[in-house]
Structure 1
């Protein structure tokens, strides 16, 4: 019997980290005609018309579904994008009403505007991930399943986790619910709009110390999401109905703007102590 050596990656999702070829990572790839016909994106902003680069009327805006708004003065492309981003930020407040994470969406919109596609990291994201993992006390919790599997298969006499039982811990994680911000409260606390579902997750046991009383394990979660929209996202009514997502899609995918989406990175170490 040989011991499993640590640190050891015990789980990886099929979707890989840093997948810049994913559909939601595209930018500047659609024409005005495609956005209007394929995606029904005609009513974008209440402040500016991105296709014609004209301000909308100061009063009334899109006041009638039967009558187009009176055209205002022309704007340059950069100014149009700035106006759209300001409206994008204003509309984000609907999805981030309370709590310590409500300001994250503003930071991430700023990063889309100025970050040129570089990865995004924030201590609050790591905090949110840690709280989510620790507060999940359901039977589907990946952390609880890791804790129980270690307790079951640790060899108490030799004080090791047998390498032959690696598949036990891998399979139990595959049947678990990975941390995602798709709970009811995430619709209002800022995490659903910033992360929601996740793209890739890696779980690693960094260390495992065993004595006669029990064990202490350090479990590392590395989670990555994409702050970007794909075609399927914007075609769904649940997203298309909100001006917030229509502006986002146009800023990202319209070939006259092409603001780059980016990787959102989260990482946390969880200390697990258990009697055996």
Structure 2
């Protein structure tokens, strides 16, 4: 019986890591006419008109964002000033989606990273903590990849030889497939800041870094690497869920308008957990 060697990559999503060709990674590719005709993005901001580069006053605001032939007749501003004002409004509006908890500050940090980061990847220890907490707190026997992986490891170890058989490697991948990968689309994520910063995820890799077996017990060290895109695609902005909020309208224009073209970026998260168990535990 051949032993599986560690570290061992056991799962990868079909979506690639670092996929800059994804639709939500486009930037600066749409004209004013396209934004208005295809996406009905005439009225973007209560503070500025990005198309005429003028400040707005309260008199310029239409009763409905979808009835927008009015243009601000205020002070002319530069494109750089307009972008800065839009980003300030972008950050201000983000607070509606991030009320409480240790992750509420992340959305403003990520908006600022979009403004100044020129598309470089984003990492933050708070994201890693959120991912680890999500994995450890998911105690659903049907959905938790941690619990399903625990069952697969304990159920396939060769206890006579104290090894995990190489020909049982695919059982580990199947265990992950049975579960639900960690995503931030739970009810609490609508308010704690994680839903607006990450929500769904693009790519996930799971690796068993080590597996120590002794007598009737084992300890596995498992690493999750998760990546999301901080960007909007065309399908996002046509949904009423997104288009009704100035927050997403500003985001889309800052990213996709060819006079701005602020780059979206990869959001990277990692978490390492331990899984422990003993012989025959999965059979109980």
Please give the range of the TM-score, normalised by the shorter of the 2 chains. over 0.9
Name the structure 1 match of 2:61: 62
Greater mean deviation of Cα atoms: 64-73 or 140-149:
64-73
- Alignment RMSD, CA only? 1.1
TM-score (norm 2): 0.95
In 2, the alpha carbon distance for the partners of 1:69 and 1:52 equals 8
Structure 2: tracts of 5 or more residues without a match = 280-284
In 2, the alpha carbon distance for the partners of 1:70 and 1:266 equals 42
In 2, the alpha carbon distance for the partners of 1:152 and 1:211 equals 15
Name the structure 1 match of 2:165: 162
**Counterpart mapping for 1:12-161 below 5 A:** 12-57=12-57, 59-65=58-64, 68=70, 70-138=72-140, 139-161=142-164
Matched, 1:264 2:267: yes
- The Cα shift of 1:60 comes to 3.6
8 Å CA contact 1:121–1:265 kept in 2: the answer is: yes
Name the structure 2 match of 1:250: 253
- 3-state DSSP of counterpart to 1:51: coil
In 2, the alpha carbon distance for the partners of 1:270 and 1:246 equals 38
- Deviations for 1:111-131, whole angstroms, at most 9, x for unmatched residues? 000000000000000000000
Matched, 1:234 2:237: yes
Q: How many residues align?
A: 275
Q: Which runs of 4+ in 1 moved over 2 A?
A: 63-70
TM-score (norm 1): 0.97
8 Å CA contact 2:49–2:71 kept in 1: the answer is: no
- Deviations for 1:143-174, whole angstroms, at most 9, x for unmatched residues? 11111100100011111110101111111211
- The Cα shift of 1:64 comes to 3.5
In 1, the alpha carbon distance for the partners of 2:40 and 2:157 equals 57
8 Å CA contact 1:98–1:188 kept in 2: the answer is: yes
Name the structure 2 match of 1:199: 202
Structure 1: tracts of 5 or more residues without a match = none
- The Cα shift of 1:136 comes to 0.5
